[in-house]
Structure 1
Amino acid sequence: MAVQPWGAAGPGEPDRRPAGGWQPQPVPQPGFHAGMRAGHADRDRTVDVLKAAFAEGRLSADEYEQRHEAAAVAQTYGQLAGLVADLPSGPMPAPMAFAVPPVPATFLPAPPPPASSTSALAVTSLVFGLTGLSLPAVVVGHVAKAQLGRRDRTGDWVATLGLLFGYGGCALWTLLILVALQGPV
């Protein structure tokens, strides 16, 4: 039969655990604040780890009771971490306030640029082109195309459509004026 890594005896195997009972393990971790006082929620999380280990057969009933009583009176993170150090879920994590040191705002990365928006000039060009104001549509459309290359905006297709309607309108107005100048036939 396979030997269980946590030292508890399986069926038909001798118990290889120390005779003096379980003793908490020291937990040396860099950045871990073992001396920081623990709260009720921290003790509850530790008891949950112990319950899971007992349910999985990793702890005997006596060992579970010893650790449960030790968790109830534990005052620091280090004491709680020692109770679960030899269990698969590992020691209690450091509190979030100390997990990452505060960084001055000057060293933080720049915020992402805002989502690009459609150029107002491109939309204006399209509106002018659709309403028949052809010459303003062409002028504003070219200004919009020039600005789209320099700024992080979308709307190239809108400016192109405004230019198409503007040039189409200019061609139509030119044709109408030429026909009108020809006079009656």
Structure 2
Amino acid sequence: MSQSSWQPGRGEDEPSAGGMPFPDRRDHAPHSPYPHAWHESGVRTPQPWPPPAVTPMLASHADRERAVDVLRAGYGEGRLAKEEFDQRVARAYAARTVGELAVLVADLPQGPAGIGQGVPAAFLPPPPVTNGKAVGAVVCGALTVVTGGITGIPAVVLGHSARAEIRRSGERGDGLALTGLVLGWLSVAGWALFVVLLVVAGLAASG
């Protein structure tokens, strides 16, 4: 029966006491798919699994048009030559993902600051606007203080109309419309109380 040829101090590629070779640390680099790596001391240390691949977002027609707008702005400012501009526009219309579009406009002022940092601002939908009637409602409501309540009814009408439009369109300004409504109704209530007091005073005087 032959004895193992392993001796202390032999290299890692030499056979171990059980007849199996020691694993080579070089085969366990950080990019290895194995969940463990070999430390320099020969001790196996846990390593995190690689993150899952992120599915790229498919580009819409609006995304392509926004990218082309950025390219046109860069061309108009003299940042792109005509030939390069034409090539980028053609690639933008042929792009399949938002990431491809981001690469085309990454070096332009209106393009993304860096690739892989979320959806570029150039491809985001425009922010919702504030409803004009909501602004009018809060202005009329605030003017009731200086107009003696004359703008109270317009504040109420504009406030109700603005809230109905906001529910349909998703615009901003619901808080403004509600504020105008409250101020308008307070003004209307004040005028109603004033009229009631006048009627009561008139009845008392005539009685």
TM-score normalised by structure 2 residue count: 0.37
| Higher RCO (CA-CA < 8 Å; seq separation 6+) | 1
TM-score normalised by structure 1 residue count: 0.41
